[in-house]
């Protein structure tokens, strides 16, 4: 089965990000395809490389980055939600005159069209978080 995943909560706000990660990891292990993981609303905070949890806590941003590298996942951060929350890549940093970016490895910034495409191309679109 081909899944699209939508994550609407930050990595340390609620259980949603952890649940999305665990589902994605389990689905891949079972041989399913993940078409795209789309981060929206506060979920865009899963894509900032400036996250620095305590050493005894899970590092969810790194987990997503590693999973993307291992399986070639498309991790897309919504551009409008990201701008509101200060998550930017090189292109957006230049556009807004910022001196750097904070997008984590394996993530990219794009628009809602990527979510629509994921829903059309996948058998199921699963939403984690409100």
| CATH code (residue 98) | 3.40.1260.10
Active site residue 78: yes
Contacts of 22 (CB under 8 A, 6+ apart): none
* Number of other residues whose CB lies within 10 A of the CB of residue 118: 22
pTM of this prediction? 0.96
Instruction: Calculate the average pLDDT of the chain.
Output: 96
Looking at residue 83, its pLDDT comes to 95
3-class SS of residue 35: strand
The C-alpha atoms of residue 65 and residue 59 are separated, in whole angstroms, by 10
pLDDT (tens digit, 9 = 90+) per residue, 54-80?
A: 999 999 999 999 999 999 999 999 999
Closest-CA residue to 79 (of 39, 24, 127) = 39
CA dihedral (19, 58, 13, 125) positive or negative: negative
- If one counts the domains in the chain, the total is 1
The C-alpha atoms of residue 80 and residue 27 are separated, in whole angstroms, by 29
Residue range 84-111: average pLDDT?
95
Query: Given 27, 61, 78, 115, which residue is catalytic?
Result: 78
Looking at residue 70, its pLDDT comes to 97
3-class SS of residue 98: coil
CA triple 31-37-39, angle to 5 deg: 160
Start-to-end CA distance of the chain, whole Å, equals: 24
Owning domain of residue 25: 2-128
Which pLDDT band holds residue 92 (cuts at 50, 70, 90)?
A: very high
């Amino acid at each position: 089965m081909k899944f699209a995943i939508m994550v609407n909560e930050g990595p340390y706000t609620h259980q949603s990000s952890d649940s999305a990660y665990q589902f994605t990891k389990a689905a891949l292990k079972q041989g399913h395809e993940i078409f795209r993981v789309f981060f929206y609303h506060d979920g865009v905070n899963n894509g900032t490389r400036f996250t620095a949890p305590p050493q005894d806590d899970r590092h969810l941003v790194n987990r997503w980055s590693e999973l993307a590298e291992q399986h070639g996942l498309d991790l897309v951060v919504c551009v409008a939600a990201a701008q509101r929350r200060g998550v930017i890549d090189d292109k957006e940093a230049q556009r807004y005159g910022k001196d750097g970016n904070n997008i984590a490895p394996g993530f990219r910034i794009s628009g809602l069209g990527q979510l629509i495409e994921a829903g059309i191309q996948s058998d199921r679109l699963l939403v984690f978080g409100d």
